[in-house]
Structure 1
Amino acid sequence: MDATAINESGRARSAASITLEDVGKTYPDGTVAVGDFSLEVHAGELTVLIGPSGCGKSTILRMINRLIEPTNGRILIDGQNILERNPVDLRRHIGYVIQNVGLFPHQNIRTNISTVPRLLGWDRSKVASRADELLELVGLDPARYAKRYPHELSGGQRQRVGVARALAADPLVLLMDEPFSAVDPIARGRLQEEFLKLQAAVGKTIVMVTHDIDEAVRLGDRIAVLAQGGRLLQYAPPAELLSRPVSSDVADFVGADRGIRRLAVTGVRTALRPAEQALDPGSRATVDAGGTLYDALAVMLASDVAEVVVVEEGKAIGTVTRADLFEAPGRETQPAAQI
């Protein structure tokens, strides 16, 4: 695996698949942290590992970049067995973001971001250019922030720098261990929104660990629910997981209010009623066509109405009613992957 690997079309790839085949970790005292865990992470998708404390989420993440060596099984990145690679070289081609960021306090932000490219022997001018490019990508003006030190930034800003550093060498794979849990709820929501935009731009293969089901539903393309010992209970897209949990354990974990959470991952277009006549979006409660049914519900409750107008590029294209909110989420779900 190489961050500059070329695909069949001759263009540099930006993402790679990850395959875990019967991967396990048993410690010398007999403790089984993960037992025979298998998972296929699709290239360019964000997969979330979620489950109770001690279920092996972080252990799985650390086995992917070989901070922890698996006891058994195989881990493949684009079909190549990472256990046959030099672990130090491997880590230089995998982005890694942790909860408390781990920036070097004695180095300025530009130097922090440049850590891996420097180790890979990049040209100095290319290193500086890449650092500034990534600062802009994560919403931090290089002219203001490049020469600052970590203690001069807010928690949310430091977390953005951590993401920029993980992306510096353009890795095919990005691993994130509860990356947003150390910031306050308001900043966390903003970081999640910005991260979704960033992922849309860079299209990396991401495996993220979180304990927060709302975060998993908001960010994940697929969610893997784990039980103690790293046992996989269900692996499915968010809407499918919420609508069709395969067991009572999964249903309990995702919560009794999973119906409301489904609204947040279901596009408003699924419930759209085409307008039979011209509508004036300026005189009625509206929701953007790119929003979710949760957004539509919020507008209905705030405006005390039973119907909202769906607007696209300033034009009304239809309506959504309260009744539609509870019928639409089930239309797009498919049978869940049972384990």
Structure 2
Amino acid sequence: MDATAINEPGPARSAASITLENIGKTYPDGTVAVGDFSLEVGAGDLAVLIGPSGCGKSTILRMINRLIEPTSGRILIDGQNILDRNPVELRRHIGYVIQNVGLFPHQNIRTNIGTVPRLLGWDKKKINERADELLELVGLDPSRYAKRYPHELSGGQRQRVGVARALAADPLVLLMDEPFSAVDPIARGRLQEEFLKLQATVRKTIVLVTHDIDEAVRLGDRIAVLAEGGRLLQYAPPAELLSRPDSVAVGDFVGADRGIRRLAVTPLRPALRPVEEGAATDGRPVVEADGTLYDALAAMLAADATEVLAVEDGRPVGLVSRAALFDVPKAFDVPTNEAEAAV
């Protein structure tokens, strides 16, 4: 196997597909952590693994970078079996972000970020340039933060450094194990928003583990709901998962308020109706046209209004009524059986 196959630089190689084929993990005492699990993650997609404690989410994640060896099945990155690679060398080409970050306390931030590039033999000048580039990317000024130590940063800042370190060698794959759960709710929301912007820029293939359905819906391109023993219950885009759970178990897990959550992943624009020429728009709550129906609902509730004004670059582009929030978007009206699909 080509040792550079999953880490070739350049815009055409920013991400790699991940294929899990019937993987399983059974421990010597007979405990089945993961049964017969299969999943496909497209290059550049963010897949979220979610489920109750003990359902094998973190075990699956660690099997992808061989921190845990599977007892059955195959794991492919861009079609190449990871078991054909040296596990240490493999891990140096897969970014990994954990809950408590794991920064080295005796090293400054620039040195922490450069950990993997040093192991790969990069020269010092290139490492420092890459570290400063990534600090800029995650919103930390290198002139202020590069020479600080982890204890001098807030929890949210340390988490950003952890993401920067995972991206240092420009991996095609990024694994994230509850990366934002150790920070307070306000910082967590901000980190999630910043992470979405970062992913839009770097477009890596990401597998993220979380217990939080709201986080899964906000971040994931597709969500995998797992049950005990690593059984896959459903794998679908957030909107489909919330509007059409495959089973009672999935419906129970995503919650009775999944209709509200669905608004958070429903674009506002399709619900807009034109603003009539000469119509007064003063006094209505305002939301950005690129927002979601959840943003519209929040604005309506805050202002006790029945409609909101959507704007783009400060210019009115349409109105959204309260009634529009209760219309099931056609995009979610997926076929429920073969006969319906054939219509």
TM (normalized to structure 1)? 0.95
Q: In the aligned structure 2, how far is the partner of 1:103 from the partner of 1:336?
A: 48
Residue 335 of structure 1 is matched in structure 2 by 334
Name the SS for the 1:274 alignment partner.
Answer: coil
Report the number of matched residues: 333
Conserved 8 A contact 1:235-1:337: no
Conserved 8 A contact 1:108-1:150: yes
Residue 324 of structure 1 is matched in structure 2 by 324
Q: In the aligned structure 2, how far is the partner of 1:67 from the partner of 1:225?
A: 22
Alignment of structure 1 residues 40-59 onto 2, 5 Å: 40-59=40-59
Alignment of structure 1 residues 246-265 onto 2, 5 Å: 246-265=246-265
More deviation, 270-279/44-53: 270-279
Conserved 8 A contact 2:114-2:165: yes
Residue 83 of structure 2 is matched in structure 1 by 83
Aligned pair in 2 of structure 1 residues 219, 47: CA closer, same or farther (>3 Å)?
Answer: same
Say yes or no: does 1:107 pair with 2:111: no
Conserved 8 A contact 2:6-2:16: no
Q: In the aligned structure 2, how far is the partner of 1:197 from the partner of 1:282?
A: 32
> Percent of pairs identical after alignment?
79
Aligned pair in 2 of structure 1 residues 322, 94: CA closer, same or farther (>3 Å)?
Answer: same
Letter of the structure 1 residue corresponding to residue 6 of structure 2? D
Letter of the structure 2 residue corresponding to residue 70 of structure 1? P
Q: In the aligned structure 2, how far is the partner of 1:303 from the partner of 1:205?
A: 40
Q: In the aligned structure 2, how far is the partner of 1:280 from the partner of 1:30?
A: 70
Residue 4 of structure 1 is matched in structure 2 by 8
Residue 183 of structure 2 is matched in structure 1 by 183
Q: In the aligned structure 1, how far is the partner of 2:39 from the partner of 2:237?
A: 14
| Uncovered stretches (5+) of structure 1, i.e. residues with no partner | none
Say yes or no: does 1:236 pair with 2:246: no
Q: In the aligned structure 2, how far is the partner of 1:85 from the partner of 1:206?
A: 20
Q: In the aligned structure 2, how far is the partner of 1:300 from the partner of 1:284?
A: 9
Letter of the structure 2 residue corresponding to residue 57 of structure 1? K
Alignment of structure 1 residues 75-224 onto 2, 5 Å: 75-224=75-224
Letter of the structure 1 residue corresponding to residue 311 of structure 2? V
Q: In the aligned structure 2, how far is the partner of 1:336 from the partner of 1:151?
A: 53
Q: In the aligned structure 1, how far is the partner of 2:291 from the partner of 2:332?
A: 18
Q: In the aligned structure 2, how far is the partner of 1:334 from the partner of 1:102?
A: 44
Q: In the aligned structure 2, how far is the partner of 1:305 from the partner of 1:94?
A: 49
Conserved 8 A contact 1:241-1:336: no
Q: Return the offset for 1:12.
A: 4.0
Q: Which digits, 9 at most, give the CA deviation of each residue in 1:237-265, with x for residues without a partner?
A: 00000000000000000000000000001
Conserved 8 A contact 1:26-1:32: yes
Residue 340 of structure 2 is matched in structure 1 by none
Q: Return the offset for 1:313.
A: 1.5
Conserved 8 A contact 1:113-1:165: yes
Q: In the aligned structure 1, how far is the partner of 2:314 from the partner of 2:291?
A: 14
For the aligned residue pairs, the C-alpha RMSD in angstroms reads 1.5
Q: Return the offset for 1:3.
A: 1.5
More deviation, 268-277/221-230: 268-277
Residue 341 of structure 2 is matched in structure 1 by none
| Uncovered stretches (5+) of structure 2, i.e. residues with no partner | 338-343
Q: Return the offset for 1:303.
A: 1.0
Conserved 8 A contact 1:243-1:330: no
Q: In the aligned structure 2, how far is the partner of 1:199 from the partner of 1:333?
A: 25
Aligned pair in 2 of structure 1 residues 337, 232: CA closer, same or farther (>3 Å)?
Answer: farther
